[in-house]
Structure 1
Amino acid sequence: MISSDNFLDAMQRRHACKLFDETKRISKEKLELILEYGRLSPSSFGMEPWRFLVVQSQEMKEKLRSFCWDQPQITTCSDLVLIKTVISPLAPGSKYSRDMLSRRDLPKDRIEAYFDIYDKFATAKMAGEGIFSWSSRQCYIAAANMMTGAAAMGIDSCPIEGFEKEKIESLLNMDPTKEELALIIAFGYRVNEVTKKVRLSLDKIVEYI
Structure 2
Amino acid sequence: MSNKNQLILDAFKFRHACKQFDATKVVSEEDFNTILDAGRLSPSSFGFEPWKFLVVQDPKIKEKLYPVAWGAQNSFNGASHFVILLARKKIDTLYNSDYIMKIMTEVQKLPSNIAQERKGYFENFQRSDFKLLESDRALYDWASKQTYIAMANMLTTAAFLGIDSCPIEGFNIEAVEKILEENNIIDTKHFGVSVMASFGYRKNEPYPKTRQSIEEVVQFV
- Residue 67 (structure 1) aligns with: 68
- Residue 212 (structure 2) aligns with: 200
- Residue 34 (structure 2) aligns with: 33
TM-score by length of 1: 0.92
Residue of structure 2 aligned with 1:160, choices 168, 187, 193: 168
Contact 2:75 2:82 in 1 (8 A): no
Matched, 1:146 2:141: no
Residue of structure 1 aligned with 2:189, choices 154, 173, 177: 177
Moved more, 45-54 or 97-106: 97-106
Report the RMSD for the aligned CA atoms in angstroms: 1.8
Gaps of 5+ in 2: none
Distance 2:88 2:38 in 1: 19
Moved more, 135-144 or 106-115: 106-115
Matched, 1:187 2:195: no
Distance 1:182 1:111 in 2: 28
Residue of structure 2 aligned with 1:92, choices 74, 84, 95: 95
Gaps of 5+ in 1: none
Percent pairwise identity: 39
Distance 2:60 2:23 in 1: 14
Q: Following TM superposition, by how much is the alpha carbon of 1:106 offset from its aligned partner in structure 2, in angstroms?
A: 5.5
Matched, 1:120 2:124: yes
TM-score by length of 2: 0.87
For 1:100-127, what per-residue CA distance to the aligned partner results, in whole angstroms no more than 9, with x for missing partners?
2334465654432211111233343131
Matched, 1:44 2:45: yes
Number of residue pairs matched by the alignment: 208
Distance 1:54 1:197 in 2: 28
User: Any idea what SS the aligned residue of 2:70 has?
Assistant: coil
